[in-house]
Copies of this chain bind each other. A is one copy, B any other.
Amino acid sequence: MNEFEAIARFFKPLSREGAGIRTGIGDDGAVLQAPRDRELVIATDTIVSGIHFPADFPPGAVGHRALAVNLSDLVAMGADPAWYTLALALPQIRTSWLAAFARGLDGLARKAHIHLVGGDTVRSPVLTATITVVGTVPKGQALLRSGARPGDRIFVSGILGLATQGLALWQDGQRHSHRLRPFLHPEPRLPWIPILRSVARAAIDVSDGFAQDLGHLLEASQVGATVDLDRIPRDRRDPDSLKRALFGGDDYELCFTVPSARLSVFRARARRARLTFFEVGRVIPGKGICWQKSDGSPSPEIKGSGFDHFAKPEMRR
């Protein structure tokens, strides 16, 4: 099977009609009609075998992850998913691998109502998948990192550190524990999109570790924060849970701020949608994060940083 046959068999079926697609896969480019009165949001993320996922990861999980990490960026921008392209570099064409990869990818694409519109399939010694996603938002409603203001409450959308815990179990040889799931199958928080857009003031997805990602949001907004360590949602059965919650990556939860005036609307809407959320701190004037304990006792010294792709010699974390 060559490149063109592989595209026709596995990827062309993922390019469905509709959704503003005038011409999908199969030409030099796709022709798309953007909805009127909306802005576009575009983001791109690459995952590399042995760096962002173990080399023995199931192909369906690779396909899922490649799209999940990108969708998470759209969610954090408050953007509705529309289209995506896939650039896949792989050592060889094995039909069983490609079929499973495409299934993992398409399972999530259908859930997110996002359509494959183009791609490139090339040979490389190292399996690498780059997806570029395009979403849309009503004009002026994109949610930026820079919108946080002193007084805003800081929320996260779920338990942090579970992906890193899953990775540790995987590296330990476990293949069947349900605690692998957050690492194997990260779920971008799609149901948050309309709620964030209507009530949040700033948002970021937690991909490189909560401490680092909240830091990015605060820096962009030119504000500081107090964070209550006792309120960080984590798995308390795990002795490493605080470290993993603060510095572990790949959670793909959301961190966002809500102004006090919108708190009751926010809580009502999130509960109606059956979404979990945790208030972890407040935005304050100044710079940096002040870590605190609920009982006012001194906080342990928080050191370290999240994931930096070039800081570590081996698999991330």
* Chain A residues engaging chain B, CB cutoff 8 angstroms: 1-4, 6, 22-23, 26-34, 36, 39-48, 50-52, 73-74, 76-77, 79, 83, 85-87, 89, 92-93, 117-126, 128, 130, 132-135, 137, 139, 142, 144-146, 203-205, 220, 308-311
User: B23 contacts A142, CB within 8 Å?
Assistant: yes
Flag if A48 contacts B142 (CB, 8 Å).
no
B220 and A27 form a contact (CB under 8 A): yes
B310 touches A44 (CB 8 A): no
Report how far A32 CA is from B28 CA in the complex, Å.
23
Chain B CB count within 10 A is highest, among A40, A134, A137, for A40
Structural contact, B32 and A122, CB atoms closer than 8 A = no
In the assembled complex, the CB of A62 is this many whole angstroms from the nearest CB of chain B, namely 15
CA distance A135 to B29 in the complex (A): 9
In-complex Cβ contact of A22 among B1, B142, B145, B308 (8 A): B142
Number of copies: 2
**Known contacts A122-B51, A128-B89, A128-B124, A29 near B43 by CB under 8 Å:** yes
29 CB-based A-B contacts, threshold 8 Å = A23-B142, A27-B144, A27-B146, A28-B43, A28-B145, A29-B42, A29-B43, A29-B74, A30-B43, A31-B144, A32-B39, A33-B40, A34-B34, A42-B132, A43-B118, A44-B85, A44-B86, A44-B87, A44-B118, A44-B120, A47-B122, A48-B124, A51-B123, A87-B130, A93-B310, A122-B309, A124-B128, A125-B126, A126-B128
